[in-house]
Chain A
Amino acid sequence: MTGPNHLRIEARVPGRLDAALEIAVGETVAVLGPNGAGKSTLLSVVAGLQRAGRSRVALDGRELAGLPPHLRGVALLAQDPLLFPHLSAADNVAFGPRAKGVRRSDAHRRALDLLAQVGVADLATRRPHQLSGGQAQRVAIARALATDPDVLLLDEPMAALDVDVTPALRQTLRTVLADRTTLLVTHDVLDALLLADRVVVLDSGEIVESGTTQEVLSRPRSAFAARLAGLDLLTGTWDGEAVQTAIGPIHGMLDPATDPAAHLPAGAPATALFRPAAVSIYATGPDQAPHGSPRNRIAVTVTDLEPLGDRVLVRGTASASRAAGEGGGVLLTAEVTPAAVAELGLVPGLEVTFSAKATEVSVYGSFKR
C-alpha cells in the first residue's frame, strides 16, 4: 500500500456545501443524505472536478485543493461504470497504470490480476458493450484500484444495478475496500452497514450527524438516518417532561446511554425515537381513547401500506395541526399485523391515531455541531 494517508476535508462551496470531515488511513466513511444534500458535490471537491471555493483537501498533510484531478491520487467510481467504449475490459483497467508510464506488459499483467480480484478474469478481452451492468461495474472497480489511489471515492456504486447482482458486488467491494481510505456516497443502509466504518449524514450541504455506523443507525439524530434505520424520529425541545414537537408533546424515557446523567436541561433541543413495532394504531374518535400507562397520541393520515413478512408497515403523515404553520408534516411508520389492518380498514387517506407507550420512546439531546 501507499503508507499513511489521513484525509482531511473542508468542503466549502458557497450556497451548496459547508462540511468538514476527516478519514483515517484505511477507513471507509459512508456519506448518507437525501437527494440534493451535496453528497456528490463533496466528492467532486475531493476529486478536484469543480471549482471548490475556499475548500481545503489535505492528504497526509499534502494540500490537494490547488491540484488538477490527475495529480491528486484520488480515484472516482460513479454510479455509471463509464468504461471507455473503445477499449477492452483489460485495457480499461490498464489505462491508469499506462497513463502513469507503466510498461505495457506490466500494466496488462496488473489489469488481469485486478480483474481476477473482482471476479471477472474471464471477461478481460470483452468490450464494454458486451458486459452486463454488474460486470461493467466490477471492471470499473478494478480500473479504479489499478492506479493504487491514496483515496477511493465511490458515488452510489450500486445504485444503477439490478437488485439481484448487488449483494455479490457489495461483498466484492467489502473485500477490496478493507484497507483502503474510502469515501462512499450511498443511500442504501446496507452499504453503510457492510462497507463503512463510520457514517456521516449530510443534509442541505451540512453534516447533521456523524458517528460509527452502529451508533448512527441505532440512535439516529436526523430524520434521514432514522428513516434509513427504519425508526420513527421526532425532534423538538425538551420542556422538562416531554419533547415539544411540531405535532405536540411526546413523552418518553430519557436515554441513559447518550446522557449518562439522564439530565437534559429544559429548553434543550431533543429527539424522540421509537420503533415502528412499538406503535399501535387506533381509529380516530373521542370514544376510542386508549387508557392505561401514559401514551403518546399522534393524529396521522395514512399514506401508504407495505407488506413486510407477516407484518404490515403503515406509513402516514402526522399533521402539524397543533402548531399551525409548520409546513409539510412528519413521516411516521407503524408496524402492525394484517389482522389490525383489516379490522381498522386501513387505506391511504384514512385519518387514524398512532399511539406509542412512553416506555417505548427514547428521548435524548439532539446532535450539536
Chain B
Amino acid sequence: MGTSLPRWLWLPAGVGAAFVLLPLVAMATRVDWAHFGALITTPSARDALLLSLRTAAASTTLCVVLGTPMAVVLARTRFPGQGVVRSLVLLPLVLPPVVSGIALLDTFGRRGLLGHTLDVLGIEIAFSTTAVVMAQTFVALPFLVIALEGALRTAGGRYETVAATLGARPTTVFRRVTLPLVLPGLLSGAVLAFARSLGEFGATITFAGALQGTTATMPIQIYLQRVTDPDAAVALSLVLVAVAVLVIGLTRQSRSAL
C-alpha cells in the first residue's frame, strides 16, 4: 500500500488538512468556556437551535419524500431531455444561496408568481417558518438526489428484473427490492441533506428573514450576534461544529453497518 506514492505529495496534503482544521481549533481557543453553558442556553440561542433542528428535520423529510422518486425516475427511466432535466434539478447545488432565496421570493412571495393565488387561499409563506423549510429543501434536495441516483445506478436494475419475473408488482419491487438495496445511499443522502439544511443561510435570510423563534435559525442567529455579542456567536458556532461532527459520525456508522 502506498509504496508508489511520491513523497512530495505529503506536503500539499498536509497543508490542505491544516487549512481545514486550524480555523476550527482557533475558534475553540476563542470560546469563553467559563460562560459557555450560559451563552448557549439564552432564550434566543435555544430558540435558534430548536428552530434549526425542527426545520432541518422537516426539510430532510421533504427531501426524502420528493427526492427519492426524482432519483428513481432519473436513474431508471429514459426520456427525451433527461440530461437537461437532471442539470436543472441539480442547479441549486451551484447557485449562490442568495439567488435561490430571490428565486423563491419571486415564486412564493406576496408579489411572486404564485403569490396572488396563495393570497386568495389565505396562505402567506414568505417570512414564516414554512419559508425556512422551503428554502432549506430547495438547496438540500440536489444532495439527496445525487447521492441516491448514484446508489441506484451502482445497484443496477438486475435484482428488480428478477423480482418482476418472480411475480412482484412494480410497487412491490420498489418497496421490497429497490429501496432496501439503496438504503445506505438513501441514508447518506438524507444526512447530507440534513447537514446542508442545518447550515443554510443565504436563501433563508433572503426568503424568510431573521425573526427570532420563527425564521432565525442557528446560522442566522450567529451572524446577527457576531456584532452585538461575539462570545455568544463563537459559542453557538461551536455547537454547530459539534452537530456537524455528530452527523459525519452517523454517516460513517450507517455506511459500515450496511
Interface residues in A82-105 by Cβ distance below 8 A to B read: 82, 84-86, 95-96, 99-100
Is the pair A75, B166 in contact by a Cβ cutoff of 8 Å? yes
Question: Is B153 at the interface (CB under 8 A from chain A)?
Answer: no
Known A69-B164, A70-B164, A86-B181; judge A99-B169 contact (CB<8 A): yes
- A120–B183 Cα gap in the complex (Å)? 29
Is the pair B168, A99 in contact by a Cβ cutoff of 8 Å? yes
Q: Mark B138-179, 1 if CB is under 8 A from A, else 0.
A: 000000000000000000001101111111111011001100
Question: Is B180 at the interface (CB under 8 A from chain A)?
Answer: yes
Question: Is A76 at the interface (CB under 8 A from chain B)?
Answer: yes
Question: Is A47 at the interface (CB under 8 A from chain B)?
Answer: yes
Contact of A82 among B158, B164, B176 (CB under 8 A): B158
Which B residues touch A76, using CB under 8 A?
161-162, 165
Q: Mark A38-53, 1 if CB is under 8 A from B, else 0.
A: 0000000001010000
Closest residue to A91 on the B side, CB-wise?
B176
State the Cβ distance, A267 to closest chain B Cβ, in Å.
Answer: 48
- A76–B161 Cα gap in the complex (Å)? 9
Question: Is A355 at the interface (CB under 8 A from chain B)?
Answer: no
Question: Is A118 at the interface (CB under 8 A from chain B)?
Answer: no
Is the pair B166, A99 in contact by a Cβ cutoff of 8 Å? yes
Which A residues touch B177, using CB under 8 A?
84
Q: Give the one of A71, A99, A153 with max B CB within 10 A.
A: A99
Is the pair B181, A70 in contact by a Cβ cutoff of 8 Å? no
Which A residues touch B183, using CB under 8 A?
86
- A75–B161 Cα gap in the complex (Å)? 10
Question: Is A180 at the interface (CB under 8 A from chain B)?
Answer: no
Known A95-B176, A99-B172, A99-B176; judge A82-B166 contact (CB<8 A): no
Question: Is A143 at the interface (CB under 8 A from chain B)?
Answer: yes
Interface residues in A28-72 by Cβ distance below 8 A to B read: 47, 49, 68-72
Contact of A99 among B167, B180, B181 (CB under 8 A): B167
Q: Mark B171-198, 1 if CB is under 8 A from A, else 0.
A: 0110011001101000000000000000
Which A residues touch B176, using CB under 8 A?
95, 99
- A86–B162 Cα gap in the complex (Å)? 14
Which B residues touch A82, using CB under 8 A?
158-159, 162
For chain B, which range describes its interface: under 10, 10 to 19, 20 to 34, or 35 or more residues? 10 to 19
State the Cβ distance, B129 to closest chain A Cβ, in Å.
Answer: 37
State the Cβ distance, A49 to closest chain B Cβ, in Å.
Answer: 6
- A49–B158 Cα gap in the complex (Å)? 11
Is the pair B181, A75 in contact by a Cβ cutoff of 8 Å? no
Which A residues touch B169, using CB under 8 A?
70, 99
Which B residues touch A144, using CB under 8 A?
166
Which A residues touch B165, using CB under 8 A?
47, 49, 69-70, 72, 74-76, 153
Question: Is A119 at the interface (CB under 8 A from chain B)?
Answer: no
- A142–B161 Cα gap in the complex (Å)? 17
Is the pair B167, A96 in contact by a Cβ cutoff of 8 Å? yes
Closest residue to B157 on the A side, CB-wise?
A49
Question: Is A134 at the interface (CB under 8 A from chain B)?
Answer: no
State the Cβ distance, A74 to closest chain B Cβ, in Å.
Answer: 6
State the Cβ distance, A251 to closest chain B Cβ, in Å.
Answer: 52
Question: Is A211 at the interface (CB under 8 A from chain B)?
Answer: no
- A47–B168 Cα gap in the complex (Å)? 13
Q: Give the one of B164, B170, B180 with max A CB within 10 A.
A: B164
Question: Is A186 at the interface (CB under 8 A from chain B)?
Answer: no
State the Cβ distance, A208 to closest chain B Cβ, in Å.
Answer: 28
Q: Mark A146-170, 1 if CB is under 8 A from B, else 0.
A: 1100000100000000000000000
Is the pair A99, B162 in contact by a Cβ cutoff of 8 Å? no
State the Cβ distance, B145 to closest chain A Cβ, in Å.
Answer: 22
- A143–B177 Cα gap in the complex (Å)? 15
Which B residues touch A80, using CB under 8 A?
158
Question: Is A269 at the interface (CB under 8 A from chain B)?
Answer: no
Contact of A147 among B159, B167, B172, B173 (CB under 8 A): B167
Q: Which residues of A are interface residues toward B (Cβ below 8 A)?
A: 47, 49, 68-76, 78, 80, 82, 84-86, 95-96, 99-100, 143-144, 146-147, 153
6 contacts between A and B (CB under 8 A): A70-B164, A75-B165, A76-B165, A84-B180, A99-B167, A99-B176
Q: A69-B165, A86-B180, A99-B163 are in contact. List 8 more A-B contacts (CB 8 A).
A: A75-B165, A80-B158, A82-B158, A82-B162, A84-B177, A99-B166, A144-B166, A153-B165
